[in-house]
Amino acid sequence: MKKQLLASLVSVIIALSLAAQERNAAPVLRYDENHSLTWEEAISFYTDLDARYPEAKLIEMGMTDAGRPLHLFIISGDGEFDPETIRRKGKAIVLINNGIHPGEPEGIDASARFAADILSNREGTKRYLRNCTVAIIPVYNIGGALARSSYWRINQNGPDEKGARRNTRFLDLNRDFVKQDSRDARAFAAIYSYLDPDVFLDTHTTNGSDHQFTVTLIATQPEKMHPEMQDFFRGRMLPELYDRMKTAQKNEMVPYVQYTDRGEIKTIIGFEEHAYYSTGYSALFNSFGFMTETLVYKPYPERVEGTRQFISELVRYTSLNHKEILRLRAEANLLTLNAGEYVLDWEQDTTRWDLIEYHGYSYEETLTPITGRKTGFYNHEKPYTDTIRYYNYFNPSVTVTVPKAYILPFAWEEVIERLQANGVVMRQLQNDTTIAVETYYIDSFEPAKRAVQGHYVNSKVQLRAVTQEVDYLTGDYIIPLNQRANKYIVTMMEPLSESGFFTWNFFDSFLEGQDWYSVWGFESHLKKLLDHDPELRAAYDRARSEDERMAADPVVQLQWLYQNTPVSELEKRTRLYPVGRIMQAGVDIHDNK
């Protein structure tokens, strides 16, 4: 009887244990069933990997606009998760970002699959961790991921539900990498500064083309790299990644298919990446940057698998070439510290191109089923192969001389916060002081007529440089150009930059006037001034005699007097860009005690 009771008790305990395990089991990847991980499932999946493997660690790295923390999952072969220690050991770091647009979720599932595979040493892939550490952001745009629906991106071929493109604050996070209006972007900047990754990948889906390829690729604009790094990227890294996808993975890849008009594809235009895009941001820190764009019309399992294949090939290549990658980045970082000029904008070189093999579909016309309008479509029953031009070379269009340092008044709090979030080293003046700086006056600009990302961006900027002495106050910031973040600093502080703080309206209040004057009582004060200043009286009389319009118009006379007397001193600051450029090496930018 006791034995039966004991057996029954053991059975109950086992059953309860199995039930508990079943309840607490990590989510199963079901992308082959057309299902993408939810945010909760993704975090649970990585939490389980963290518990199972000593080589894995899931950590929280800041808050997002959704009120949820941004997670970072690190895979390290020797269980070392501190980036500085990893770098001292001579290992490269790869950062993979997923779900920036949660309606494009294949990277979320592909990264989870890759993480589970490499940790379990599937096909011996754990060997790549000897020279390489992999960091994964499971889901970047958490707010968009929480707003799931089967109706988002309705023309997309799966999964069963997709997230929303914009985050909780209705920002497109792939336009927010440098201006960082979102908590998400500031948390990402903290991750990037913390890891300082050598290789960066952002995963996406494209609906801008239709062809036989599943995976298209945007690679960092090579011209943004220093020469030897650019040669390595163009001549070795990119060709091998394309070749491995074709030969080893049996999944041929093509550059991102960007074109101006629908129709038969005869050319592909290279992607000009501004700094507010993810790969543009990574280029500011001399990382090798990539963006996968899988084709929206392909089945979801194929898109996930294609993304996973590229992740695998990228990690493999980084591991096998880690010494060269680290050397090139170290040299690029050193050259960045001493650069005398910086390119703010580029234009496409239409005289140079590469020839690539393109697998497309014939373009035909049809009538739409509801409105009956005429439209075009790519006929999947008529595939073809052609050799076409790929225009992927750019020339500098706007170049700026790099100052020794910038000086930024304490007043511009939002700018200072973003500089600090990106690891910019600054120091504050310890005393009120006067410094000779190069300043900009904004002569003209054109604000946008409609908002973009919540900003009426400024463009078509015309400016002039004036060297003058400017009074600065205790607490104002000196930003030396001798640091890792040099490219970010110049990109954001120069008003001609299409990604800079001036473009995004951070400094717009300086464009307004100052005090001006009131006509009431103004002339009585001017009379005293003219009676005691013969030179001013003579200049005023001369101006009135030489200008008939001024002689006939009292208002013009008052304006002349205002602008030519000390009372208008404040107006000289109108349209004076508040960021000063310290150009002389003799100015002490390191100490002011």
Give the count of beta carbons closer than 10 Å to the beta carbon of residue 465: 12
pLDDT at 513: 65
**Dihedrals φ, ψ of 117, to 5°?**
-65, -45
Please identify which residue in the block is written with the tokens 């071929």. Answer: 157
Question: CA dist 533 to 434, 468, 527, 539, 564, Å?
Answer: 28, 26, 10, 10, 12
| d(C-alpha 69, C-alpha 53), whole Å | 22
Residue 567 has pLDDT above 70, yes or no: no
- Rounded (10°) CA dihedral 247, 250, 255, 261: 140
- Rounded (10°) CA dihedral 78, 79, 80, 82: 150
Tokens of 164: 């929303």
At 127 the three-state DSSP class reads helix
Mean predicted lDDT score pLDDT of the chain: 91
Q: Which of 205, 204, 167 is nearest to 185 (CA)?
A: 167
- The band of 514, judged by pLDDT with boundaries at 50, 70 and 90, is low
| CATH number belonging to domain 56-337 | 3.40.630.10
The answer to whether the Cα torsion of 506, 507, 511, 513 is positive or negative is positive
| d(C-alpha 77, C-alpha 85), whole Å | 13
Residue 19 has pLDDT above 80, yes or no: no
The sheet with strand 92-97 has its strands ordered as 56-63, 69-75, 132-137, 92-97, 199-206, 288-295, 215-219, 253-255
| d(C-alpha 316, C-alpha 277), whole Å | 25
pLDDT at 17: 46
pLDDT at 15: 46
Task: Return the biggest CA–CA distance within the chain.
Answer: 125
Please identify which residue in the block is written with the tokens 């973009």. Answer: 452
- Answer for the pair 468, 449: CB distance below 8 angstroms, yes or no: no
**Beta partners for residue 396, in sequence order:** 346
- Answer for the pair 142, 153: CB distance below 8 angstroms, yes or no: no
- Answer for the pair 304, 113: CB distance below 8 angstroms, yes or no: yes
Contacts of 196 (CB under 8 A, 6+ apart): 83, 87, 93, 285, 484
User: What single letter denotes the amino acid at residue 254?
Assistant: V
User: What single letter denotes the amino acid at residue 320?
Assistant: L
pLDDT at 526: 75
Among the ranges given (308-312, 322-326, 545-549, 583-587), the one the predictor scored with the smallest mean pLDDT: 583-587
**Burial environment of residue 135 by CB neighbours within 10 A (0 to 12, 13 to 18, 19 or more):** buried
The answer to whether the Cα torsion of 290, 291, 297, 303 is positive or negative is positive
The answer to whether the Cα torsion of 522, 528, 531, 532 is positive or negative is negative
Q: Which of 465, 463, 491, 467 is nearest to 479 (CA)?
A: 491
Establish how many alpha carbons lie within 13 A of residue 536's alpha carbon, considering only the half-sphere containing its beta carbon. Answer: 15
pLDDT at 512: 80
Residue 34, by phi and psi: left (phi above 0), alpha (psi -120 to 50) or beta? left
Tokens of 187: 């948390």
pLDDT in tens, 34-54: 999 999 999 999 999 999 999
**Beta partners for residue 96, in sequence order:** 136, 201
User: What single letter denotes the amino acid at residue 178?
Assistant: V
pLDDT at 208: 79
- Answer for the pair 217, 253: CB distance below 8 angstroms, yes or no: yes
pLDDT at 272: 87
**Dihedrals φ, ψ of 140, to 5°?**
-80, -55
Tokens of 261: 């008009």
pLDDT at 23: 41
pLDDT in tens, 315-363: 999 999 999 999 999 999 999 999 999 999 999 999 999 999 999 999 9
Across 386-397, average pLDDT? 96
**Beta partners for residue 437, in sequence order:** 468
pLDDT in tens, 144-166: 999 999 999 999 999 999 999 99
The pTM (predicted TM-score) of the whole model is 0.89
Tokens of 350: 């239409």
Q: Which of 125, 127, 103 is nearest to 116 (CA)?
A: 125
**Dihedrals φ, ψ of 33, to 5°?**
-100, 15
Give the count of beta carbons closer than 10 Å to the beta carbon of residue 398: 15
Q: Is the peptide bond before 159 cis (omega within 30 degrees of 0)?
A: yes
DSSP-assigned states of every residue in 132-186: EEEEEES-S-HHHHHS-BSSTTTTS---SSB--SS-TTS--GGG-TTT--SHHHH
pLDDT at 16: 44
pLDDT in tens, 414-463: 999 999 999 999 999 999 999 999 999 999 999 999 999 999 999 999 99
Buried b (16+ CB within 10 A) or exposed e, 330-343: eebbeebeeeeebb
Residue 14 has pLDDT above 50, yes or no: no
| d(C-alpha 193, C-alpha 265), whole Å | 40
| d(C-alpha 231, C-alpha 515), whole Å | 55
User: What single letter denotes the amino acid at residue 460?
Assistant: K
Element (H, E) at 386: strand 374-391
pLDDT at 321: 98
CATH 3.40.630.10 in the chain, residue ranges: 56-337
| d(C-alpha 446, C-alpha 145), whole Å | 36
Top pLDDT among 528 and 327 is at 327
